[in-house]
């Protein structure tokens, strides 16, 4: 495979002003895939001024909403045409199994662009019944030049979630992919050009957070920053936005989701849901069901079944279509997860299965299950972002709600029960942006996603995401 490795600025592929490059690794082999241009503040300046020009006076600023929609449809079609190639590229760079990139990342990315293609010309203002002899109406206007900073766990999909609504709304964008996984975003850049992208509308700057990322967040001519990543960096981004030009901020941050199984649940389905909840994407998922609450009556049996299934998961070559769990994204992430596993053992949790690297080469881990009566150990509190689930037991409904909510995060939760009353009681009392009932990790471009508490704010996907890239203007016209 040949990779695009340059920066996309104003529709041109260019080297970084500094001439610097950085190494991008295949985490399954630990071998270098490419040297990629490393953007920093100087490149950010050029990209932002291009995005500003495109927003204020370029051809894009004269596109009708329907034309923007047609452009987004073309992107979706091109992604579809290049689906297998992109799935393979994502797998090579991220380490996730090709069965997932082909059947989850790619279809969801394509659907996201299609959804916003259709939505583009259905965004409108309102007329309002004000007092007095006035005609009052609102205009919904694009926010302007948007910085989008994304993580490495779903590189292409996160780009789609960010670009879809921003472009539907008519914003222009500077996108910074994660340092570990820039390749699919750069390939997407080539497809954007093929789809007829006007200059400056989407600029793609691989580089590092503290340099390129921070330059975007501090830039006086960026109107908004949309971020997905860790809560710690999210807080820093808000500070930078506040200290510069009060640019708008939306944050999709970490999680530590409770996945709650009642004794009356369909246990076969719940075991599958618990597996999918934590081992999908090697556990590198912000909404992973990483705290597994099992009602006392089924606790032992459930863990036995989970252990049996976890040990049968096929860990291995991400390019093999039979593989169910691939490699962690980087050595840093691999070491961090092993550190959490050590803390679990040290603090007295019972290791039910896994707890070690799967092979001697590549960043592969065994699916890992811990159990403990206490849910205040480090592995029950901190986001691990790996294939490690922390199980515990609970007695009653009254007990589970405060325990499930006893976290600084609030991104998602799973509930497994046949009792409709429990379903709706928990749907109301759990503080999280998404509640999955008798299912887990369901996504659709139409359904909003985002956090309560320190999991961030703002909702991506659906019509809600339009809020992130638009602002409302009130117009008063005297009729006297
Ligand atoms: P991260 O540092 O928050 O990275 C996310 C994005 O923010 C990357 O593009 C990153 O650039 C950028 N960034 C980092 N520091 C920045 C700064 N000072 N200013 C502006 N942008 C900055 O996440 P990470 O280091 O990759 O992973 C650490 C932990 O974050 C994980 O273990 C996991 O717990 C959590 N995480 C959450 C999500 C999620 O979906 N919510 C996704 C990934 C990770 P670089 O590429 O240079 O880091
Ligand atoms: Mg980082």
Q: Is 252 a catalytic residue?
A: yes
Q: How many Å apart are CA 106 and CA 97, to the nearest integer? A: 12
- 209 in ligand 1 pocket by Cβ < 6 Å? yes
Q: Is 286 a catalytic residue?
A: yes
Protein residue with least CA distance to atom 9, ligand 1: 178
Give the strand pairing for 202-204 and 412-416.
unpaired
pLDDT band for 328, please (50, 70, 90 cuts): very high
For the segment 28-84, what is each residue's pLDDT rounded down to a tens digit?
A: 999 999 999 999 999 999 999 999 999 999 999 999 999 999 999 999 999 999 999
Mean per-residue pLDDT, 8-32: 98
Examine the pLDDT at 143 and tell me if it is beyond 90. Answer: yes
The CA dihedral of 279, 284, 286, 288, to the nearest 10 degrees, is 10
Is the CB of residue 411 less than 8 Å from the CB of residue 432? yes
- 282 in ligand 1 pocket by Cβ < 6 Å? no
Mean per-residue pLDDT, 119-136: 98
For the segment 370-405, what is each residue's pLDDT rounded down to a tens digit?
A: 999 999 999 999 999 999 999 999 999 999 999 999
Mean per-residue pLDDT, 111-129: 98
What pLDDT, on the 0 to 100 scale, is given for residue 182? 98
CA torsion sign for 293, 298, 301, 302 is: negative
Examine the pLDDT at 354 and tell me if it is beyond 90. Answer: yes
Q: Rounded to the nearest whole angstrom, what is the distance from the C-alpha of residue 153 to the centroid of ligand 1?
A: 10
What pLDDT, on the 0 to 100 scale, is given for residue 1? 80
Of 38, 252, 383, 460, catalytic: 252
The overall average pLDDT reported for the chain is: 98
Say what percent of the chain tops pLDDT 90: 100
Examine the pLDDT at 131 and tell me if it is beyond 90. Answer: yes
Protein residue with least CA distance to atom 35, ligand 1: 230
Residue that has been written with the tokens 């001439």 in this structure: 19
Give the strand pairing for 21-26 and 412-416.
unpaired
Q: Which residues contact 232 (CB under 8 A, 6 or more apart)?
A: none
pLDDT band for 294, please (50, 70, 90 cuts): very high
Protein residue with least CA distance to atom 38, ligand 1: 229
For the segment 206-245, what is each residue's pLDDT rounded down to a tens digit?
A: 999 999 999 999 999 999 999 999 999 999 999 999 999 9
* Greatest distance between any 2 Cα atoms in the chain: 81
Q: Could you tell me the end-to-end alpha-carbon distance of the chain, in angstroms, rounded to an integer?
A: 68
Q: How many CB atoms lie within 10 A of CB 14?
A: 15
Kindly state the helix (H) or strand (E) to which residue 315 belongs, with its residue range: none
Mean per-residue pLDDT, 418-445: 98
Ligand nearest to the CA of 235: 1
Kindly state the helix (H) or strand (E) to which residue 353 belongs, with its residue range: strand 350-353
Mean per-residue pLDDT, 423-428: 98
For the segment 454-476, what is each residue's pLDDT rounded down to a tens digit?
A: 999 999 999 999 999 999 999 99
- 217 in ligand 1 pocket by Cβ < 6 Å? yes
pLDDT band for 150, please (50, 70, 90 cuts): very high
């Amino acid at each position: 495979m040949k990779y695009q490795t340059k920066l996309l600025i104003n529709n041109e592929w260019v080297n970084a002003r500094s001439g610097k490059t950085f190494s991008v690794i295949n985490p399954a082999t630990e071998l270098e895939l490419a040297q990629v241009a490393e953007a920093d503040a100087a490149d950010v300046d050029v990209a932002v001024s291009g995005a500003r020009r495109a927003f204020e006076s370029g051809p894009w600023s004269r596109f009708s909403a329907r034309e923007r929609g047609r452009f987004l449809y073309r992107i979706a079609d091109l992604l579809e045409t290049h689906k297998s190639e992109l799935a393979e590229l994502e797998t090579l760079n991220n380490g996730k199994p090709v069965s997932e990139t082909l059947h989850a990342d790619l279809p969801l990315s394509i659907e996201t662009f299609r959804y916003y293609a259709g939505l583009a010309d259905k965004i409108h203002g309102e007329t309002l019944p004000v007092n007095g002899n006035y005609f009052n109406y609102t205009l919904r206007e694009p926010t302007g030049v948007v910085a989008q900073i994304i993580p490495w766990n779903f590189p292409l999909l996160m780009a789609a979630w960010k670009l879809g609504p921003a472009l539907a709304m008519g914003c222009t964008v500077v996108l910074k992919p994660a340092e570990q996984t820039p390749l699919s975003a750069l390939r997407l850049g080539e497809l954007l050009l093929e789809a007829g992208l006007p200059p400056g509308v989407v600029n793609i700057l691989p580089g590092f957070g503290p340099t390129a990322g921070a330059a975007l967040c501090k830039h006086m001519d960026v109107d908004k920053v949309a971020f997905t990543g860790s809560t710690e960096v999210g807080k820093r981004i808000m500070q930078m936005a506040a200290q510069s030009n009060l640019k708008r901020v939306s944050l999709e941050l970490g999680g530590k989701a409770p996945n709650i199984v009642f004794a009356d649940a369909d246990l076969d389905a719940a075991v599958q849901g618990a597996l999918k909840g934590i081992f999908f994407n090697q556990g590198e998922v912000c909404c992973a069901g990483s705290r597994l609450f099992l009602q006392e009556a089924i606790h032992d049996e459930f863990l036995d079944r989970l252990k049996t299934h976890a040990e049968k998961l096929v860990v291995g070559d991400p390019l093999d279509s039979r593989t169910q769990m691939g490699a962690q994204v980087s050595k840093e992430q691999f070491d961090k997860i092993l550190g959490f596993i050590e803390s679990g053992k040290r603090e007295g949790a019972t290791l039910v299965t896994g707890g070690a690297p799967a092979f001697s080469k590549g960043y592969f881990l065994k699916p890992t299950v811990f159990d403990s009566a206490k849910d205040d150990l480090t592995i029950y509190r901190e986001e691990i972002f790996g294939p490690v689930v922390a199980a515990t037991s609970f007695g009653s409904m009254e007990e589970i709600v405060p325990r499930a909510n006893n976290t600084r995060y609030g991104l998602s939760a799973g509930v497994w029960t046949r009792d409709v009353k429990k379903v709706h009681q928990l749907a109301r009392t759990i503080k999280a942006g998404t509640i999955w009932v008798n299912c887990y990790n369901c996504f659709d471009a139409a359904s909003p996603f985002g956090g309560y508490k320190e999991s961030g704010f703002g909702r991506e996907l659906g019509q809600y995401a339009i809020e992130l890239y638009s602002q409302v203007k009130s117009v008063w016209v005297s009729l006297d």
